[in-house]
Homo-oligomer: A and B are copies of this chain.
Amino acid sequence: MPKVERANSLTARGGGPAVVPAVAPPRPHVPTRPSRSRKARWIDPFEAREIRRLVREFGSPLLIVDCERVRQQYRQLNRALPGVLLHYALKPMPHPAVVRTVYAMGGNLDLATTGEVDLVARMGLDPQRCIHTHPIKRDSDIVDALRRGITLFVADNHDEVRKFARHRGKAQLLLRVSFRSPGAVCDLSRKFGCEPAMAVDVLLAAHQLGLQAHGISFHVGSQQTRLGAWDSALAEAKAIFDALTGHGITLQMVNLGGGFPTRYLKQVPGTGQYANAIHEALTKHFGNAIPETIIEPGRGMVGNAGVIKAEVVLISKKHVNDTQRWVYLDIGKFGGLAETMDEAIRYPIVTAKDGDAKAPCVIAGPTCDSADVLYEKTPYDLPVTLTVGDEVLIEATGAYTTTYASVAFNGFEPLTAYVI
């Protein structure tokens, strides 16, 4: 049986220094083997065998999600941000076992649609530990969520606020504000959030409709690595709090959103650095009158908890002067790796032959769609000895893989997740 080398996603790879300590010690029932190098450790044969058994049962490709890693990440965030309410955003990985893991740790939930509200209701979870944060809803979505017992909602414009007029006394509103930051890696501000100049007006309108203007909400951008983002956002948030105070309204909450990154191949700041940045910004702008605060990690909670087992379908050169091989895997953009679009996210890929010499490859998915290419502009180093049928482990794939997968494009089944 070939050994499979795996680097812990949270330890250093590619020569860079470790940013955060490893958070996923082997589970108790898994005997450990000594590390083969300081950068990577060998998966225990039991674990490799277990993956292989699961693949035999469920087929390849297969996403395996490790709830122990979710717990570790929860503990780390909770420790780093004491006093901040943690609401797990279901969107990247809504598997009930994952939701229940966070909930059992004491975490709360961030829901965005009636589908997600229904899921949580079917699981029998306390609606008072859930908030509904989608700024765009049908009337029926609001009615359904209220009926389920959810009371805290988000809106970002006058029209959406008016939908709540008939629910006065039952709903608390956070106003989502968009703070444009030209330096942000991924600017979420276009689709959601009203501009700060309009915020006071909308909150006043909510108040005049008899609704409880409870606070404001923002999102610094997905996979945010610029720690100053929270400082400028909280400065503007404080200005809105002050303006409302001038109208006799006391806002009580700031929803700090998500943005906590997963560690892919590129270096990202550690949880502690994020926590410090947020804590310092809160203290700097709100002094000793810090409001209730919420964070909504999604990717940051589950990204590193998943690994996809996949296989090499073909390796070929198709041009006489090709210097690079094309490596075709049995998973691609449509089967779960949609976030490789524009090669935005570079997943760590581990093989049993990583000790051999490596050379750059183009990596493509299995469909007959020409857009289904994962890495081409920046080719990916893979072992020169890699052959058809070899296994690969695609790490840090816990977020936005099963949920972005297409229904059955080209006759391929959607990605299966197995949660351990």
Chain A residues packing against B (C-beta within 8 Å)? 90-91, 94, 112-119, 133-138, 156-160, 178, 186-188, 190-195, 197-198, 222, 313-320, 326, 328, 330, 334, 338, 364, 366-370, 372-373, 376, 388, 402-414
Contacts and interface: CB of A to CB of B under 8 A. Distances in A.
Nearest to A376: B190
A91 B318 contact: no
B316 A157 contact: yes
Contact of A138 (B91, B194, B330, B405): B330
Nearest to A94: B411
A368 B192 contact: yes
18 contacts: A94-B411, A112-B410, A115-B410, A119-B411, A136-B366, A156-B316, A159-B314, A159-B316, A178-B318, A192-B368, A194-B318, A195-B319, A197-B319, A198-B320, A222-B370, A403-B406, A403-B410, A407-B414
Contact of A160 (B138, B314, B338, B409): B314
A365 B314 CA distance: 37
Contacts of A369: 91
A402 B409 CA distance: 8
Contacts of A94: 408, 411
Contacts of A195: 318-320
Contact of A370 (B192, B338, B407): B192
Contact of A116 (B115, B192, B318, B410): B410
Given A91-B369, A191-B372, A368-B192, A411 B112 contact: yes
Given A366-B136, A409-B403, A316 B188 contact: no
A118 B411 contact: yes
Majority-rule SS of A interface residues: loop
A157 B368 CA distance: 15
Given A114-B411, A157-B314, A186-B370, 14 more contacts: A94-B408, A112-B411, A118-B411, A119-B411, A135-B368, A138-B330, A159-B388, A191-B372, A191-B373, A193-B318, A198-B318, A222-B370, A402-B407, A407-B407
A91 B370 CA distance: 12
Contacts of A370: 186-188, 190-192, 222
A316 B406 contact: no
A93 to B, nearest CB: 11
For A133, A157, A368, which residue has the most chain B Cβ atoms within 10 angstroms? Answer: A368
Contact of A313 (B117, B136, B156, B328): B136
A20 to B, nearest CB: 27
A404 B409 contact: yes
Report the 10 A-B pairs with minimum CB-CB distance, sorted nearest first.
A115-B411, A157-B316, A116-B411, A194-B318, A113-B411, A112-B368, A188-B370, A195-B319, A134-B368, A407-B414
A32 B44 CA distance: 71
Contacts of A192: 368, 370
A37 B308 CA distance: 55
Contacts of A135: 368
A354 to B, nearest CB: 22
A414 B192 CA distance: 23
Contacts of A222: 370
Nearest to A157: B316
A115 B408 contact: yes
Contacts of A115: 408, 410-413
Contact of A157 (B113, B190, B318, B408): B318
Nearest to A176: B318
A255 to B, nearest CB: 13
A388 B368 CA distance: 39
Given A191-B364, A192-B370, A334 B408 contact: no
Contacts of A407: 402-403, 405-407, 414
A364 to B, nearest CB: 6
